[in-house]
Amino acid sequence: MNPSPEPAGQQRTKPRLSEAAKTSLGKTHNLFRIFIVTVLGAFFVYQLDVSYLWLTGILTAASLVIGVLLLVRSAKLKESRLVLVGTISGLVVMVVMVLVILVTAVFFAQIQDFQACSRQAITGQALANCRVQLESSLPGLR
């Protein structure tokens, strides 16, 4: 059985938010936007060039701080489930990014040589030679 449609005057609407709630929600959304930009910025700067590892580290640290602030704010104020899920996902990505940055810092010279070699590689064979050169330069993989 289909329920009978409600009369036009009795439609369900969201309760109106107070000015304080609107301001709080706006701050949370702006903080979430900044968090997303820093997460994406850290990822894309890392992809750009390993020489910018310092900038990637700064963006990653900023993302972690903003993410934790946003996580606390979302949990405490219970504003938006989407923001909470997005923040948790972004923080997981940033934890992985921290591991990538640490490994890159340890093997900085080898990775920088590989990037320079792969930029000049025109063929697949040249790129394969760059990979072999990287593998032979890493300790413990011989």
Residue 74 belongs to a domain: yes
Split into its structural domains, the chain has a count of 2
Domain co-membership, 137 together with 100: no
What is the C-alpha to C-alpha distance for residues 81 and 78, in angstroms, rounded to an integer? 8
Same domain flag for 60 and 85:
yes
Torsion angles phi and psi, residue 77, rounded to 5: -90, -10
Domain presence at residue 40? yes
pLDDT at 54: 92
Higher pLDDT, residue 32 or 15: 32
CA nearest neighbour of 114 among 50, 48, 47, 56: 50
Mean pLDDT of 86-94: 91
Shared-domain flag, residues 129 and 83: no
Within-domain flag for 132: yes
In a domain, 87, yes or no: yes
Neighbours of 127 (CB within 10 A): 14
Digit-coded pLDDT (tens) for 36-58: 999 999 999 988 888 888 999 99
Query: Are 39 and 70 within one domain?
Result: yes
- Do 17 and 38 meet the contact criterion of CB atoms below 8 Å apart? no
Amino acid 3: pLDDT = 60
Q: What are phi and psi of 110, to 5 degrees?
A: -65, -40
Same domain, 137 and 67: no
Same domain, 88 and 64: yes
Domain that holds residue 46: 23-106
